[in-house]
C-alpha cells in the first residue's frame, strides 16, 4: 500500500515538474517579444529569476561536470532560452525535482520503520529510480525543445529567404531587409523571426558574416551551415548577394521536397510493423478462431467415444 502511495506521489511530482518547465518557457523566451511586435524603441528590462534569490543556491546543490557545462549552455541557446538566468533556473528546477524525490523517499522510509525490511528495500529502490528519472527529465525536455525548434526554423527558411530576395531586389539594404523579414515572418514563424532579428543586431554591431556565423552555431542544421558558408564566400568574392540568396532559397526548397519524398517512401515500410504486430493477430483470431473451435469439438467428441 505504501509503495503505491509513493508511486502516485512521485508521478504527481514529475507531472508538476513538467508543468513547471512549461511555465518557465515564457520567461526564458520573452527577451525579444517587444521587438518582434514592432516596438523597437521599448527599453529592455531584465526579468527577475523565477525562483528569486534562491535560484543560484538551488542551482549549486548538485554538481555539474565540466564537459556538460558547455553542452548545457549550447543546448539552452539552441532551444531559444536567451534569458541571462536560464542556466541557473534550469539547474535549480532539476535539483528541486531530484532532491524532492529523495526527501520524499526518506520520509517514506522513516514512516515505515525498521519492522518492514522487505518493503523498505523496495521503497529505496523505487525512490532512487524516481530520483534518477527526475534528474534526467529536464535534460530530455531540453533536447526535445532543441530538435523541435530546429525543425520549425528549418521549415520557415525558404519563405524567409524568398522575402529577403524580394526586399534586396527592391533596393533595400541587407540590414533593413532582415529587419523587415523578421517583423513580417514572426506571426507565422516566431522562432525564425527572433533569430533573424538577432542576426540583424549582430550585423550592425560587427559584420553580416559574424551574424550568420553565430546563427549557424545557435541553430545546428545543415541549411544554416550552408548559409554561413555562402555569406562568407559572397563577402570574400564580392558576388551578387541577391542571386546568391535566391539560389539558396531554391536549393532549400528542393532539399525539403526530396526529404518529403524520402519520408513518403519510408512510410510503407514503417507501417508494416504495426500492421503485423497489431492487426495480424486480430485477423488470425477472426479467421482461425471458428476453425480451431470446430477442431476442438471434433477431438472432444472423438475422445468420448
**pTM score:** 0.68
DSSP per position, 136-196: HHHHHHHHHHHHHHHHHHHHHHHHHHHHHHHHHHTT--HHHHHHHHHHHHTTT-HHHHHHH
Is the residue at 183 inside a domain?
A: yes
Torsions phi, psi for 48 (to 5 deg)? -80, 140
pLDDT above 80: residue 187: yes
Is the residue at 103 inside a domain?
A: yes
**Which of the four pLDDT bands, split at 50, 70 and 90, describes residue 50?**
low
pLDDT (tens digit per residue) in 255-275 = 888 888 888 888 888 888 887
User: Of the residues 121, 150, 179, which one is the last residue of a structural domain?
Assistant: 150
Shared domain for 194 and 126, answered yes or no, is no
Shared domain for 104 and 204, answered yes or no, is no
DSSP per position, 27-62: HHS-TTHHHHTT-TTPPP-PPPPTTGGGHHHHHTSS
pLDDT (tens digit per residue) in 78-136 = 888 887 778 888 888 888 888 888 888 888 877 777 777 777 778 888 888 888 888 88
- Greater model confidence, 282 or 305: 282
The whole domain housing 78 covers: 2-27+48-150
Percent of the chain at pLDDT exceeding 90? 0
Distance between terminal CA atoms of the chain? 53
User: Of the residues 241, 257, 273, which one is the last residue of a structural domain?
Assistant: 257
Shared domain for 19 and 146, answered yes or no, is yes
Rounded mean pLDDT, 158-177: 83
Is the residue at 296 inside a domain?
A: no
Shared domain for 178 and 80, answered yes or no, is no
Using only C-alpha atoms, the chain has a radius of gyration, in whole angstroms, of: 28
Rounded mean pLDDT, 199-213: 85
Amino acid at each position: 500500500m505504501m509503495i503505491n502511495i509513493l508511486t502516485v506521489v512521485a508521478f504527481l511530482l514529475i507531472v508538476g515538474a513538467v508543468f513547471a518547465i512549461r511555465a518557465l518557457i515564457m520567461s526564458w523566451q520573452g527577451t525579444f517579444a517587444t521587438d518582434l511586435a514592432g516596438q523597437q524603441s521599448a527599453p529592455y528590462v531584465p526579468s527577475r529569476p523565477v525562483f528569486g534569490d534562491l535560484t543560484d543556491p538551488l542551482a549549486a546543490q548538485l554538481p555539474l561536470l565540466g564537459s556538460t557545462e558547455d553542452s548545457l549552455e549550447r543546448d539552452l541557446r539552441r532551444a531559444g532560452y536567451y534569458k541571462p538566468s536560464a542556466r541557473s533556473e534550469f539547474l535549480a528546477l532539476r535539483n528541486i525535482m531530484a532532491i524532492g524525490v529523495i526527501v520524499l523517499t526518506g520520509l517514506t522510509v522513516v514512516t515505515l520503520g525498521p519492522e518492514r525490511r522487505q518493503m523498505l528495500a523496495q521503497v529505496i529502490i523505487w525512490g532512487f529510480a524516481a530520483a534518477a528519472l527526475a534528474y534526467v527529465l529536464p535534460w530530455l525536455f531540453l533536447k526535445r525543445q532543441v530538435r523541435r525548434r530546429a525543425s520549425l526554423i528549418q521549415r520557415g527558411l525558404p519563405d524567409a529567404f524568398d522575402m529577403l530576395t524580394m526586399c534586396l531586389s527592391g533596393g533595400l539594404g541587407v540590414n533593413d531587409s532582415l529587419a523587415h523579414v523578421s517583423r513580417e515572418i514572426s506571426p507565422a514563424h516566431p522562432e525564425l523571426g527572433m533569430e533573424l532579428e538577432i542576426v540583424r543586431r549582430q550585423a550592425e554591431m560587427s559584420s553580416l558574416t559574424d551574424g550568420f556565423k553565430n546563427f549557424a552555431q545557435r541553430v545546428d542544421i545543415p541549411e544554416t551551415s550552408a548559409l554561413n558558408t555562402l555569406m562568407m564566400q559572397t563577402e570574400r568574392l564580392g558576388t551578387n548577394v541577391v542571386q546568391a540568396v535566391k539560389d539558396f532559397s531554391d536549393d532549400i526548397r528542393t532539399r525539403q521536397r526530396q526529404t518529403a519524398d524520402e519520408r513518403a517512401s519510408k512510410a510503407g515500410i514503417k507501417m508494416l510493423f504495426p500492421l503485423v504486430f497489431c492487426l495480424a493477430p486480430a485477423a488470425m483470431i477472426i479467421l482461425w478462431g471458428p476453425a480451431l473451435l470446430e477442431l476442438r469439438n471434433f477431438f472432444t467428441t472423438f475422445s468420448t467415444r
